[in-house]
Amino acid sequence: MQQSYQVGHSTGIIKLEVTVGTVGTAYSEFSRVKNGASSGVLGHSTPKDGNIPETSIGTAESNNGAYIFVGIIINLNRFTMEQRESAIENLYINYKFSGGVNGPENFSFQKQSDLTITPKKNIVSISSIIQLL
């Protein structure tokens, strides 16, 4: 399911904050793609909790028509299979955008399409794309 955030065409600053709720060790980063060109990494977490503090991604006008790509890797190696399954089931990820037309808005990852799990369930990868309109 395509998710989108209304940024509009103003000079207001758009911000993104990512919160990862997991017992595993997580790392997150995000980048922006507009007109086929990637900005590179605009924000990232520490290599432990996966949380990205509120980060400016530029003005609404410069982001209109762009896509934000958020990538998250979670390591569950230190847990038993039963604990890994529980960690995956209880995984919580929130993307909070602010500065757009409708103010702050929260998005969650889509388990059916954004989640990839290794066969041993020890590594989890989440890839989410949010369109900025």
Inter-residue contact 24 to 75 (CB < 8 Å):
yes
**What amino acid is encoded at 73 in this protein?**
I
Angle at 25 between CA 114 and CA 54, to 5 degrees: 70
Predicted confidence at residue 24, as pLDDT, reads 96
Predicted confidence at residue 111, as pLDDT, reads 83
* Tens-binned pLDDT, residue by residue, of the chain (133 aa): 679 999 999 999 999 999 999 999 999 999 999 999 999 999 999 888 999 999 999 999 999 999 999 999 999 999 999 999 999 999 999 999 999 998 999 999 888 889 999 999 999 999 999 999 9
Predicted confidence at residue 109, as pLDDT, reads 87
What pTM, to 2 d.p., does this model score? 0.93
Strand order in the sheet with 13-21: 52-59, 13-21, 92-98, 105-108
Tokens of 27: 């790392």
Tokens of 113: 């399409």
Name the nearest CA neighbour of 69 among 99, 102, 100, 39: 39
Predicted confidence at residue 112, as pLDDT, reads 81
